Amino acid sequence: MTDLRPRLRRRPVAPGAFPADIPPLLQRVYAARGVTGEEGLVRELGALSNFRPLSGIDKAADLLERALHEAWPIVVVGDYDADGATSSALAVTALQACGARQVSYLVPNRVTQGYGLSAALAAEASGLGARLLITVDNGIAADSGVRAAHEAGMSVLVTDHHLPGDTLPPAEAIVNPNLPGDAFPSKALAGVGVIFYVMLALRARLRENHWFEQQGLPEPRFADLLDLVAVGTVADVVSLDRNNRILVEQGLRRIRAGHARPGIRALLRVAGRDHARIGASDLGFAVGPRLNAAGRLDDMALGIECLLATDETRAMALAQRLDALNRERRELEQDARTQAMAAVESALNRVDSGALPDGLCLFDPDWHEGIVGLVAGRLKERFHRPAAVFARGADGLLKGSVRSVPGIHVRDVLTDIATRNPGLLVRFGGHAMAAGLSLDAVKLDAFADLFAAEIARQADHEALQPVLWSDGELAPGEFTLASAEALRAGGPWGQGFPEPVFDGIFAVERAREVGQGHLKLSLRDPRDGNQHDAIAFQYAELGMPADGGRGETRFAFRLEVNEFRGERKPQLLITGYALELTQT
Domains of the chain by range and CATH?
Answer: 7-35+468-576 (2.40.50.460), 52-324 (3.90.1640.30), 356-464 (3.10.310.30)
Strand partners, 392: 398
3-class SS string, 344-406: HHHHHHHCCCCCCCCCEEEECCCCCHHHHHHHHHHHHHHHCCCEEEEEECCCCCEEEEEECCC
Q: How confident is the model at residue 354 (pLDDT cuts 50, 70, 90)?
A: low
Q: How far is CA 529 from the centre of its chain?
A: 40
Q: Summarize the confidence of residues 35-56 as an average pLDDT.
A: 91
- Comparing 262-266, 342-346, 364-368, the range with the smallest average pLDDT is 342-346
Band of pLDDT at residue 576, cut at 50, 70 and 90: very high
Q: CA gyration radius for the chain?
A: 24
Angle between helices 312-350 and 372-383 in degrees, nearest 10: 50
Write the DSSP string, 420-457: HSTTS-SEEEE-SSEEEEEE-GGGHHHHHHHHHHHHHH
Residue 567: other Cβ atoms inside 10 A: 7
Section 208-227 average pLDDT: 97
The pLDDT tens digits of the residues spanning 57-105 come to 999 999 999 999 999 999 999 988 999 999 999 999 999 999 999 999 9
pTM of the model: 0.89
Give the rounded distance of the alpha carbon of 91 from its chain centre.
19
Q: Give me the mean pLDDT over the 295-319 stretch.
A: 91
Pick from 196-205, 332-341, 398-407: least confident = 332-341
Q: What is the mean pLDDT of the chain?
A: 91
Which pLDDT score is estimated for 112? Answer: 66
Position 503 pLDDT exceeds 60: yes
Higher pLDDT, 24 or 462: 24
CB-CB contact of 95 with 103 (8 Å): yes
Establish whether the linkage from the previous residue to 365 is cis, with ω within 30° of 0.
Answer: no
The conformation of residue 19, written as its DSSP 8-state character, comes to: -
Decide: helix, strand or coil at residue 336. helix
Predicted local distance difference test score (pLDDT) of residue 584: 52
Q: Is 354 exposed, middle or buried (0-12, 13-18, 19+ CB in 10 A)?
A: exposed
Reported as a pLDDT band with limits 50, 70 and 90, residue 353 is: very low
Residue 414's contacts (CB-CB under 8 Å, 6 or more residues apart) are: 402, 425, 428, 430, 435, 437
* Of 276 and 349, more confident: 276
**Identity of the residue numbered 136:** V
Contact 59, 173 (CB under 8 A): yes
Which pLDDT belongs to residue 348? Answer: 55
Percent of all residues in the chain with a pLDDT value above 90, rounded to a whole number = 70
Whether residue 360 contacts residue 402, with contact meaning beta carbons closer than 8 Å, is answered with: no
Residue 113 pLDDT > 80: no
The answer, yes or no, to whether residue 351 has pLDDT greater than 50, is no
145 vs 148: CA distance, rounded Å = 5
Share of the chain above pLDDT 70, in %: 96
pLDDT at residue 105, as a whole number: 97
The bridge status of strand 434-439 relative to strand 518-524 is: unpaired
E strands present in 458-517: 467-470, 502-514
In the prediction, which pLDDT does 364 show?
Answer: 86
Reply yes or no on whether the pLDDT at 352 is more than 90: no
Res 163 pLDDT > 70: yes
Say whether 261 sits in a helix, a strand or coil.
coil
Q: Do 533 and 516 meet the contact criterion of CB atoms below 8 Å apart?
A: no
pLDDT at 583 exceeding the cut of 80: no
Average pLDDT over every residue of 328-344: 77
Q: HSE of 131 in the Cβ direction (CA atoms, 13 Å)?
A: 13
